[in-house]
Amino acid sequence: MALVRGNWATALKQVRAPLMKSNLRSGERMVEVNEEGKEALTIFKVLRRFGDFATMVEAKPVTGRTHQIRVHTLHAGHAIAGDTKYGDENFSREIRDLGGKRLFLHAYMLTVPMPDGSKLNVQAPVDDMWAKTVERLSAP
């Protein structure tokens, strides 16, 4: 689940864009959309809107590339709040002003296939900072 900038279009249900790792001159590693990269697919679903300011989306990576969700949301034009590597500093600052001092990307549910064919489902609730920030976003 991620809190992203702007109004995510309901029709945008997936982002399929190849990803490639690269090194900046500073030595920092980044991932970017690049036709020479590895195939990457993420399925998205709108969970909640906060006007045109922000949208809460569910993100299900079909492939498991480094920073896949972060780069795919950015590629779709919707940076994740609090993302210091790929994000929108102005949007992140506005979220920080509401008390959100973290990356707003949260694995709230994981499904792990087990050797016997069954699936292990694990859920993790959001922390208080996440919940309070969303509450403030919802305030009139």
Residue-wise pLDDT for 70-83, tens only, equals 999 999 999 999 99
Domain 2-138 fold is: Pseudouridine synthase (3.30.2350)
End-to-end CA distance of the chain: 23
Mean pLDDT of the chain: 96
Residue 121: CB partners within 8 Å, gap ≥ 6?
Answer: 109, 110, 111, 112
Rounded CA separation 122/15 (Å) = 25
For the segment 4-28, the average pLDDT, to the nearest whole number, is 94
| 75 and 69 Cβ atoms separated by less than 8 Å | no
pLDDT in tens, 27-65: 889 999 999 999 999 999 999 999 999 999 999 999 999
Domain residue extents for the chain: 2-138
At residue 139, the pLDDT reads 85
Handedness of CA 35, 36, 39, 41 (dihedral sign): negative
Could you give the percent of the chain with pLDDT greater than 70? 100
pLDDT in tens, 107-117: 999 999 999 99
Residue 92 binned pLDDT confidence (cut-offs 50, 70, 90): very high
